[in-house]
Amino acid sequence: MATSPVPAPVLARVHPDAWRRFRYGLVVACFVLLGCGLVLGSAPATFADLRAGVSAGRVDEVHVSGALPPGATGLVTVSLAWRDGGRNRFAEVVQVSDPAVSSPGDIGAREIVTENLEESLRALQPGVRIVADTWRDPGHELAGWRVPGWFAAAALVLWFATVALLFNGAQPWWATRWAWFWALFSPAAVVAVPLFLLVSGPPPGVPDTGRSGRRLTGGWAFILFYLVAPAAYGALTRS
């Protein structure tokens, strides 16, 4: 009995040149998103950085969210946001009215502030403006930076598009599909996505002749991204 052939997936029938143009579009989108993150995102900082900026007169406005009201006791996590040197910055500290009421488990590794934040900053620079935010969008943290809520959704869409390109586009350069797969699904995906889009194929104007020679295979990539890299990162953070 004759059987009809199984149709190829829709994405697989897309012309290779279309996937190549799709990669170029993702490269542009990646750089646009990165630019938005640098402009709208906030770099991590410390309370000491804030004090230094206020003292030097570089910071004239500080947004404070979650501080203890006057006369209150206990401990709370306070979010601080300011602009210094043309860049948005943020920090989180634990404000404690009495160190005796806290425990190491409550505080963790965060900075502890026992004084009134507004009075402490005004003592450094009387003209600094303190804005008490009763509610402030915390955003999301990505690679240590704090970015707007929509940024994480846009980055996720870009990641899904990159994975679709990996499975349906031409054979990637420098590494096999499985090697790039482990990179894109690893904690280093924030670096792997732009790297894949930039070097996994030819640049504009260069024919896609493929690359000869050895490529990183999936097994070695798994060892690199899931065993070696986490161990190296842990050793660096402990030092």
What CATH fold (topology level) applies to the domain 42-142?
3.30.720
At 29-40, the pLDDT tens digits run 999 999 998 888
Region of 92 on the Ramachandran plot (φ > 0 left; ψ -120 to 50 alpha; else beta):
beta
At 127-167, the pLDDT tens digits run 999 998 765 666 778 778 888 888 989 999 999 999 999 99
pLDDT band, residue 115 (cuts 50/70/90): confident
Residues of the chain with CATH 3.30.720.90: 42-142
Considering the entire predicted model, what is its pTM?
Answer: 0.73
pLDDT, averaged across the chain: 83
At 169-193, the pLDDT tens digits run 988 999 999 999 999 999 889 899 9
In this structure, which long-range contacts are made by residues 79-88, counting pairs with CB atoms below 8 Å and at least 24 apart in sequence?
A: 79/136, 79/138, 80/47, 80/50, 80/117, 81/42, 81/136, 82/50, 82/53, 83/59, 84/45, 84/49, 84/50, 84/53, 84/58, 84/59, 85/58, 87/43, 88/40, 88/41, 88/42, 88/43
Whether the Cβ atoms of residue 180 and residue 218 lie closer than 8 Å to each other: no
Other CB atoms closer than 10 Å to residue 161's CB: what's the count?
18
Considering only CA atoms, give the Rg of the chain. Answer: 25
Whether the Cβ atoms of residue 132 and residue 64 lie closer than 8 Å to each other: yes
